[in-house]
Structure 1
């Protein structure tokens, strides 16, 4: 740790307390790490849960600098790092859990395996909104369900963070995509390339109307609870697959079994928590970069932007459910 170089950061001193703007030592890049000057941090609901002391599965005890997603520029590379150099624009899901420093700071020393070169087609402040939600969508649709061209895909809550990524990813892979949402979200969903379905429509009616009663090849549930139960009856008979990024409750599997369909859960934090599989997260973000630079991927962003000192207000907006898209916090440009 370089005691002569400092940075600004937002630190959680104790669970249930607001984040505090502090000055701390600037990290240095160790072996296998990249020191990134952060341009922006993308916020997720989990950040607010950790602040409130409700995210025990994230294993991020206070005091801690939160923030899971980030985008920025390489300041320095540690021993053994290849593929990155000073000045490169990079992004990834790099910390904020498992005792690892998060992105609500000016700098972070991050595991190079978690990083990819950021898209040239969008500013870093937008790229910061992609990592967690895109990785979650990819792990569900590609790694688990192996979605293919011509398949029918239903995304539950298609205007949300993970949902909007799942819609665009499925469209990019040639699937016929349907997504649920409110009436107010119809234009967002159709603009992403999916057929909008009223979120209040009974699932049995949805299956009858859009699949002739057969069900969808892939169903991606992003909400859990009752919507996951509904997803089980939306899967195609003989080979349909349901994926959920919030399948943490207790559910009856009979509807799924009676359709001879299968289920997978997604837990995107695993590589950060265990250290295993981090290379794959970097590979997934490289795929996101390709799609973004081809014009096939864009984040749905909140209209409100926040500076680092306004991080608590940004988290409050995320928790309110009224952000209208991913919330991004911009790091100070000068020390």
Structure 2
């Protein structure tokens, strides 16, 4: 969900802040540069010497973005290029100015994990003016970005639903299911829920009886799960669109006398350490794990491909999007998953 650029001055960038470009890129130029634009201006990307990639990261206090940044650094090291990582500390204005600072430093590519996607167009325009490709690393997009790397969230929801079907499909039902959504307007949350609902709805042995906003937090997940368990004492499955909500749901299950050991299924999404600990303790069934480190490496590869005028390998060319695989982690696969993650450290 990242961006690098050598930029216009702050006054010019401020003027660009109010402009928004339609998404879209022209075909690669094929001579070591790439044409980008969508607003009518073709941009020939330029690899400067020394080649440096900038990563404007959401917030390095979050372990997920720590891992993403580590992947960016590893990808840059493997390619023999320099990288500058700037922590924007969840501050939208700081990210706008910080990204412009990266552009002014003469970077060749920019990776951005946006605090607010709506603030991206000005940064992208400034980067393009400096012949810098911009790759968005997760969260969401806006403007005329050149690549978007994120987890395959819809497929993650599909995998979660299939795991439920595999575990309970032969047990007479119908089984009542609750869904804890991410905050309203979260595109990734909508995809995670849609993949789950679409897949589970194909099996008559399951009935989704409640779908509530968990506000992405432990407390929100607790409140949502408490409400759905109170209204549906015979609920047998909760799917939460992130692990914090699932952790909160587990506490609500405990209060209601429900447990995974007795056959209740609780599935989260992210692969966070707290969720992995609950799986190890037998208090949570599974989580759909993302790979932020691998996405970081891929974001660097995407920037370099754009600088070379090569096709980055978009899964959705119209949206310039690359979907990164996710996987379901259960008690049976937990040890192998943790071992693989440890190798990234």
What range describes the TM-score normalised by the shorter chain of this pair?
0.3 to 0.5
The answer to which structure has the higher helix fraction is 2
Higher strand share: 1
Query: Highest CA radius of gyration, 1 or 2?
Result: 2
Give the structure-1-normalised TM-score.
0.39
